[in-house]
Every structure is written in structure tokens, then in C-alpha cells.
Chain A
Amino acid sequence: DVKVTQSSRYLVKRTGEKVFLECVQDMDHENMFWYRQDPGLGLRLIYFSYDVKMKEKGDIPEGYSVSREKKERFSLILESASTNQTSMYLCASSLPGGPGELFFGEGSRLTVL
């Protein structure tokens, strides 16, 4: 089975802290994604990556950055966390080309105080 693992299920951080959310997939997928999920707003794409060291902005990249140094790992970085970044963060991966099927991790619920 494809497995997408997010390093932390629950995090509590303070305003201004730097936050790292890690995601690892074990299926050699080229594509990796970070989504944010908030009540009533569905899933919104923050960043995605087609390959190592490549990244593209999604719909809501402001306040976030990403890093993909290895194919299996995609990190989401909050340089200076703010309370409005309290949310559920979901990582996903997929093969390139075609319609694609997204494989999601379990999610990381971040609370910024």
C-alpha cells in the first residue's frame, strides 16, 4: 500500500515561531502537495512539487514556503507562525501524468497560540 506519513499529528506553537511540517511518501511518486483544510473552505492548495528541488505556488502560498531536497520528502515551512495559520494541513502525493490519484497522509493539526 502507498503510504504518506506526516511527522506530527498534532502541534501547538506560539505566534512568531518557525514551524516545520514534514511529509514522506514511500511510493517513489514525483508529485507532492501540501493542502490546508479549514471548516467550510474545503481543501486549498498551498504548494506543490513536480520533482526534487522544484516547487510551484498553489492558491494560498502566502506565509508558507516548502523544501524538497529528496524525492520522498516534502516539507512545509511557516517562517513566522500566526494565529490565522491554525488549521489542518494535509500532504499528498501522486504519480505524474494522466488524471492522477492523490494519496493523502493523515494530516497535521496545527494550533498557533
Chain B
Amino acid sequence: LAKTTQPISMDSYEGQEVNITCSHNNIATNDYITWYQQFPSQGPRFIIQGYKTKVTNEVASLFIPADRKSSTLSLPRVSLSDTAVYYCLVGDNTNAGKSTFGDGTTLTVKP
């Protein structure tokens, strides 16, 4: 199983770009990297997913280096509403029971 490691917490200010890194040294060839956002008293929700290089959508970018041993979620110009816990998940849905969530990074955005 790919063990994932994330920073426990991060602070930022409104309007800044935030980068959260997840380490996954023993990622398998078939594994994808997926990031989820969770607000208090809610279930996590999908943000972005990638396999290699860079993926961008309307809310975030995901950078994955060639060795795929880490990944970085980039949130451009954060606002107070981005305060949440962010989880990386490494795995392959065809073997979903072997997917591994990180312990989550609590992002606090300050005014």
C-alpha cells in the first residue's frame, strides 16, 4: 500500500496561492492521486485527480513530478471559504480497498 504523508496544518491569507504537498514514496504503477476537500460536519468532496505531470480545473491545479513520489495541490488566490481539511488519496479504483488516504491537512485562511 502506498503510505501517504501530508503536513498536519497550514495557514494562509486571503488572496494568496496555497500549495499542499502529499508524499507517497511507494506509489504503484496503476495508482492515481486524488485530492478531496472536507468542511466540518460534511463528507469529503472531490477536487482534482491526476496520474502524472499537471492537471488543472476551475478550482485547483495538481502537480505530479516524473517519479510520482509526491504531488502538490495548488489553490490559487484562496478565500476564507477555502478553510477546510484537504486529503490526498492514492490508489486505483479497480482495487479500491487498497487506496490510502493521507491524514489530512487543515488549511486555515485568514483575512
* Residues of A in contact with B (beta carbons under 8 Å apart): 4, 31, 33, 40-45, 48, 50, 56-58, 90, 92, 94-107
Main secondary structure, interface of B, reads mixed
Measured as residues with beta carbon below 8 angstroms from the partner, the interface class of chain B is: 20 to 34
Instruction: Please measure, in the bound complex, the distance between the C-alpha atom of A33 and the C-alpha atom of B34, giving whole angstroms.
Output: 16
B46, B97, B104: the one contacting A102 at CB < 8 Å is: B46
B49 contacts A by Cβ under 8 Å: yes
Report B87 CB to chain A, min CB distance, Å: 7
**Quick check: B97 and A56 within 8 Å, CB to CB?**
yes
Q: For residue A42, which residues in chain B have a CB less than 8 angstroms away from its CB?
A: 87, 101-104
B92 contacts A by Cβ under 8 Å: yes
Report A32 CB to chain B, min CB distance, Å: 10
B45 contacts A by Cβ under 8 Å: yes
Report B105 CB to chain A, min CB distance, Å: 10
How many A-B pairs have beta carbons closer than 8 Å: the answer is 67
Report B35 CB to chain A, min CB distance, Å: 11
Instruction: Please measure, in the bound complex, the distance between the C-alpha atom of A104 and the C-alpha atom of B87, giving whole angstroms.
Output: 13
Tell me which residues from 32 to 56 in chain B have a Cβ below 8 Å from any Cβ of chain A. 32, 34, 36, 41-46, 49, 51
A41, A101, A106: the one contacting B46 at CB < 8 Å is: A101
**Quick check: A100 and B43 within 8 Å, CB to CB?**
no
**Quick check: A40 and B96 within 8 Å, CB to CB?**
no
B41, B49, B103: the one contacting A99 at CB < 8 Å is: B49
Tell me which residues from 73 to 111 in chain B have a Cβ below 8 Å from any Cβ of chain A. 87, 89, 91-94, 96-97, 99, 101-104
Across the two chains, which residue of chain A brings its CB closest to B46?
A101
Q: For residue B32, which residues in chain A have a CB less than 8 angstroms away from its CB?
A: 99-100
Q: For residue B96, which residues in chain A have a CB less than 8 angstroms away from its CB?
A: 31, 33, 48, 50, 94, 100
